[in-house]
Amino acid sequence: MISIRPACADDAVALNRIYNQPSVRRFTCALPFTSLARTQAVLADETATHARLVACGADGQVLGEASLRREANPRRAYAATLGIMVDETAQRQGIGSALLAALLDLADHWLNLHKIELTVFANNEAAIALYKRFGFVTEAVLRHEAMQEGVLRDALAMGRLRQGLPRDASLAPPRPPQAPRAPFSLRAPHADDLPGLAALCSLPGICFGTTGRPFMTPQDVAHLAAPESRAHAILALSGEVVAGLAVLTPGRGRHLHAGTVESLLVHDAYQGQGIGRALLSAVLELADCWLGLSRVALAVLADQDHAIRLYESFGFEVEGRFAADIFRGGAYADSLAMARLR
């Protein structure tokens, strides 16, 4: 007899024991010797979580856990990331299915989530079979995505999408008059740049082509100039104007070898001046020569032909297509998953 209930702080010891089981750890992104304090911290900080459920046996013992993580970007508020694990002594008894059914009921009928996403090691046959039974499909094969027992392994990005969502057919906004070609320089952002950065990220062409949104405030971009930020941001300046931005975020833990280009954007009026190429080149030099990353990944809206060609010219390859990856102009637009391996 299995019962499902919300996780609570007292579950930390039981969950930490499961995180540290070798056959569970192999397929999650937990590191060996995950401390109890770390597990307690995860349970204490649920601001980034929609729901965390545990499955208990007849004696009340915690045998499994599943969670849905919220998306930080409001344009992706309809999406959440799923994580799940079952005690290695209790697998293949229907616990994973029971947890997944409960979470998907929450997602579909209570949280109004339209897309559930996850990544799973490509050699995790059990989980892939489970996800397929619940309607998940493979959207991309992410090469060398994470470390698993000494080897960089591929992972599948899988998604489960609500049917009937309005699909994107929005037209690009008209290009504004172009600024005269002028020299530009690259540097790290300062706190003084935040208003210019917010204005850049809110431009119509940027919102259309990226994950920015109208009316962003300096506070929305403050993390880019914060000393404690893990993101490496590079600005392009044309005179006093913030004309471009690139952001590279290195991974953590079992993703230490991998980085993500979170943003690469050039002001609507300064495109075609070589700023994007210079920013991407700077970001990749950082990745290759200073951070030692062997995988750099990004997602690009599927209709951004210029950007896709630019990425391909630097060795990025398409790894798949994320359906309904971002809300744009009242509908849902697809992105391509791209990555460059060294």
Ligand X SMILES: CC(C)(COP(=O)(O)OP(=O)(O)OC[C@H]1O[C@@H](n2cnc3c(N)ncnc32)[C@H](O)[C@@H]1OP(=O)(O)O)[C@@H](O)C(=O)NCCC(=O)NCCS
Q: Taking the complex as a whole, how short is the minimal distance between the CB of residue 66 and ligand X, in angstroms?
A: 8
Distance of alpha carbon 224 from the chain centroid: 17
Q: Strand ranges (DSSP E) for 176-222?
A: 185-187
CA of 79: how far to CAs of 99, 151, 244, 306, in Å? 19, 30, 28, 27
- Choice between 60 and 174, CB closer to ligand X: 60
- Residue 249 makes CB contacts below 8 A (sequence gap 6+) with 230, 231, 232, 259, 260, 262
Q: Does 48 bind ligand X (CB under 6 A)?
A: no
Q: Which of 34, 81, 97, 249 binds ligand X (CB under 6 A)?
A: 97
- Give the 3-state DSSP-derived string for 105-132, with helices as H, strands as E and coil as C: HHHHHCCCCCEEEEEEECCCHHHHHHHH
Q: Does 133 bind ligand X (CB under 6 A)?
A: yes
Rg (CA), the chain: 21
Contact status: 253 vs ligand X (CB under 6 A): no
Most distant CA pair in the chain: distance in Å?
A: 73
The values of phi and psi at residue 202, to 5°, are -95, -5
Among 11, 14, 15, 28, binds ligand X (CB under 6 A): 28
Task: Report the nearest approach of ligand X to the CB of residue 145 (Å).
Answer: 11
DSSP category for residue 81? E
88/305 with CB nearer ligand X:
88
Minimum CB separation of residue 149 from ligand X in Å reads 14
Minimum Å gap between C-beta 64 and ligand X is 6
CB nearer ligand X, residue 86 or residue 286: 86
Encoded one letter per residue, x for contact with ligand X by CB under 6 A and - for no contact, window 73-92 reads -----------xxx----xx
Among 12, 14, 15, 24, indicate the residue that binds ligand X (CB under 6 A).
Answer: 24
Figure out which of the listed residues 7, 56, 62, 130 binds ligand X, where binding follows CB under 6 A: 130
For position 129 contacting ligand X by CB under 6 A, the verdict is yes
Which of 37, 48, 126, 188: binder of ligand X (CB under 6 A)? 126
Integer CA distances (angstroms), 5 to 58, 63, 92, 111, 261, in order:
13, 12, 20, 17, 38
The binding site for ligand X (CB under 6 A) comprises: 24, 27-28, 84-86, 91-97, 118, 120, 124-127, 129-130, 133
